[in-house]
Amino acid sequence: MNAATQLRSPAVSTPLPLAIPGAIPGTTDAQIRAQVSDLNFWYGKFQALHGVSMPIHDRQVTAIIGPSGCGKSTLLRCFNRIHDLYLGVRYEGAIELMPDRLNLVGKAVDPILVRLMVGMVFQKPNPFPKSIFENVASGLYVRGIRNKGEVEGRVEHALKQAAIWDEVSDRLKKPAYELSGGQQQRLCIARALAPEPKLLLLDEPTSALDPIATAKIESLIDDLAEQVTIVIVTHNMGQAARISDHTAFMHLGKLVEFGETEQIFTSPQAEQTRDYVTGRYG
Amino acid sequence: MEHTVKAVDDQLNAMTRDLAAMGDLAVAQVRAAIDVFLRHDLTAAAKVVRGDDALDLQDADIERRAVRFIALHQPMADDLRRPIAAMKIAMQLERCGDLAKNIAKRVGRMDAPADADQAEPVAGLGRLAAERLSSVVDAYRASDAQGAYNVWVRDTEIDELHEKVLAGLIEAMARESRALGDFAHLLFIAKNLERIGDHATNIAELVHYQITGADLADRPKL
């Protein structure tokens, strides 16, 4: 189920704040946008994450890599509490959103509020069966933003941010399904950006796309990182190396190594990381 | 651990094997040039000059294979460092070959063989440079970071010996009536040998980087 679908909560009837209460605007590159601290996660009795701790740097791209089943997608989905859709899941530890240290996995924190602050884009483009315009506007409606002029302005801004405005500006009322796969994915990114999230999560966003569409998304991620903090899960190590500033390597639910991407891909410190990035895992 | 794609290990190992063999040839060329110089053997000198072509071809071959490997396999970590280092080491070896060839050519241009008391210190410098080059080729072949470091850290010995040899030649120039042209050739030969020592040190840095991923700090200077 799509995260944005979850945002259609009847409980939300008034505009929600676009900024975290108490947040200090204008953080610098050197700052931490989120801090994962001793995070443990269970699907029922199965523990999928074991004591993960790592920083998420502000307005930079952090890639999470690792073999299938290592927990990278599980970790990513903790950031917007998408696991809460299922019974029997349990979090321990913290993902604190800075600077006010809001614990995104804290029991007292409303997952709907979390998802308004943390946007997500999935492996396969999943536009709603609506028009291009309505897709992007949906997140704004959830926020209670109904003013036509404001909605139009924000939709245009998000489509420009997602580098798809020039391709759709003359057909905003057309069904989103008429777009190509790559365009649909950029539309989904625009949809995630419209509510101005503090974090943007990308779960293998190009694995269903051809090389040209992939290159466009990678270029877009590069541009977006100047405005929003991005966490991406990818199986494509070349992609992680190209677009991320920091990389985390996970194995069996544990964080094996975290560091600057250049270091992880040229001189990894852990033997497991070295074996994985060179293709010797298994 | 073996690579999931067998061709990766096969191609990297073949590149290492062939580059080490190129290193052996470069060492042989340097030693042959020193021998040619000492014996003033013009026939052997011509052979050294011709022998350099093989090093040029091997340098081009290593570069072509490294570029192809990177393009096809998009390697990471030490799999990336190996072809990068191979390209750079091949270039250093090719330069050593050029310097050996230059020494051999200069022997042919000298009016007369150098006197033993002038030739021997120059040859001593050459033997030291060749020994360092040989050691670093061995370190590369054996993936021996400590061996590379040992070559790197002793770079100043060649520089010091070169300074000594130069001082001796300059003294001899002042007191002897021999043609200055021959002395100029001796000075250049000594400089070439010192440069070969520098290339050995450069290779040591590359071998160390390839194995550890870390750069050696600035090397000690005279």
Q: Please report the sign of the dihedral spanned by the C-alpha atoms of residue A225, residue A230, residue A236, residue A238.
A: positive
For chain B, which residues lie within 8 Å of any Cβ of chain A, measuring from their own Cβ? 1-5, 8, 74-81, 212-214
| Contact (CB, 8 A) for A111 and A84 | yes
Residues of B in contact with A267 (CB under 8 A): 77, 81, 212-214
State the Cα–Cα distance between residues B63 and B84, nearest whole angstrom.
9
- The strand order across the sheet containing A102-103 reads A46-57, A32-43, A89-97, A102-103
pLDDT at A6: 35
Nearest CA in chain A to B3: A280
* Mean pLDDT lowest among A26-30, A74-78, A92-96, A137-141: A26-30
State the Cα–Cα distance between residues B207 and B151, nearest whole angstrom.
11
Q: What percent of chain A has pLDDT over 70?
A: 89
Name the residue facing A280 among B1, B213, B214 (closest C-beta). Answer: B1
State the Cα–Cα distance between residues B68 and A258, nearest whole angstrom.
30
Pairing of strands A89-97, A32-43: antiparallel
Average pLDDT over residues A52-61: 97
In this complex, is the C-beta atom of A177 within 8 Å of any C-beta atom belonging to chain B?
no
| Contact (CB, 8 A) for B26 and B96 | yes
Name the residue facing B78 among A241, A278, A281 (closest C-beta). Answer: A278
Residues of B in contact with A272 (CB under 8 A): none
| Contact (CB, 8 A) for A252 and A47 | no
How many C-beta neighbours within 10 Å does residue A271 have? 12
In this complex, is the C-beta atom of A262 within 8 Å of any C-beta atom belonging to chain B?
no
A203: left (phi over 0), alpha (psi -120 to 50) or beta: beta
State the Cα–Cα distance between residues B27 and B19, nearest whole angstrom.
12
Cβ burial of A17 (10 Å; 0-12, 13-18, 19+) is: exposed
Interface mutation target, options B8, B76, B209, chain A, most CBs of A under 10 Å:
B76
Nearest CA in chain A to B212: A267
B207 closest CA partner among B121, B146, B127: B146
How many C-beta neighbours within 10 Å does residue B178 have? 16
State the Cα–Cα distance between residues A115 and A139, nearest whole angstrom.
10
Look up residue A44 and give its two tokens: 């029922």
Residues of B in contact with A249 (CB under 8 A): none
Residues of A in contact with B5 (CB under 8 A): 279
Q: Cβ of A267 and B74 within 8 Å?
A: no
Q: Helix axis angle, B116-142 relative to B155-175, nearest 10°? A: 160
Name the residue facing A277 among B4, B77, B212 (closest C-beta). Answer: B77
Q: How far is CA A282 from the centre of its chain?
A: 28
3-state secondary structure of A28: coil
Nearest CA in chain A to B7: A279
- Examine the pLDDT at A3 and tell me if it is beyond 50: no
Rounded to the nearest angstrom, the minimum Cα separation between A261 and chain B is 11
State the Cα–Cα distance between residues A114 and B171, nearest whole angstrom.
83
Q: What is the pLDDT of residues A206-251, one digit of tens each?
A: 998 889 989 989 999 999 999 999 999 999 988 999 999 999 999 9
Name the residue facing A266 among B3, B74, B81 (closest C-beta). Answer: B81
State the Cα–Cα distance between residues B14 and B27, nearest whole angstrom.
20
Helices within chain B (DSSP H only): 6-39, 42-73, 77-109, 116-142, 145-153, 155-175, 180-212
Contacts of A243 (CB under 8 A, 6+ apart): A61, A63, A218, A221, A222, A232
Domains defined for chain B, CATH in brackets:
2-218 (1.20.58.220)
Nearest CA in chain A to B215: A267
Average pLDDT over residues A56-64: 97
Residue showing tokens 């210190």: B121
Residues of B in contact with A273 (CB under 8 A): 77
Look up residue B43 and give its two tokens: 């026939």
Q: Cβ of A279 and B81 within 8 Å?
A: no
3-state SS, A70-130, equals CCHHHHHHHCCCHHHHCCCEEEEEEEEECCCCEECCCCCCCHHHHHHHEEEECCCCCCCCC
Name the residue facing A267 among B2, B74, B213 (closest C-beta). Answer: B213
Name the residue facing A267 among B1, B4, B214 (closest C-beta). Answer: B214
pLDDT at B216: 85
pLDDT at A178: 95
Residue A29: band (very low, low, confident or very high) from pLDDT cuts 50, 70, 90 = very low
Q: How far is CA A134 from the centre of its chain?
A: 21
In this complex, is the C-beta atom of A238 within 8 Å of any C-beta atom belonging to chain B?
yes
Which of residues A253 and A11 earns the better pLDDT score? A253
Amino acid identity for residue B60 in this structure: A
DSSP string, B18-65: HHHHHHHHHHHHHHHHHHHHHHT-HHHHHHHHHHHHHHHHHHHHHHHH
pLDDT at B6: 82
Name the residue facing B77 among A238, A268, A281 (closest C-beta). Answer: A268
Q: What percent of chain A has pLDDT over 90?
A: 77
Give this complex's ipTM. 0.70
| Contact (CB, 8 A) for A239 and A41 | no
Q: Is the peptide bond before A99 cis (omega within 30 degrees of 0)?
A: yes
Angstrom distances, CA of residue B32 to CA of B119, B189, B191: 15, 13, 17
pLDDT at A209: 85
Nearest CA in chain A to B213: A267
pLDDT at B221: 61
Q: Cβ of A268 and B8 within 8 Å?
A: no
pLDDT digits (tens), chain B, 222 positions:
788 778 889 999 999 999 999 999 999 999 999 999 999 999 999 999 999 999 999 999 999 999 999 999 889 999 999 999 999 999 999 999 999 999 999 999 998 888 889 999 999 999 999 999 999 999 999 999 999 999 999 989 999 999 999 999 999 888 887 778 889 999 999 999 999 999 999 999 999 999 999 888 766 565
Angstrom distances, CA of residue A36 to CA of A50, A55, A65, A98, B181: 12, 6, 16, 11, 73
pTM for the full predicted model: 0.78
Nearest CA in chain A to B5: A279
pLDDT at A108: 93
Look up residue A140 and give its two tokens: 């704004």
Residue A30: band (very low, low, confident or very high) from pLDDT cuts 50, 70, 90 = low
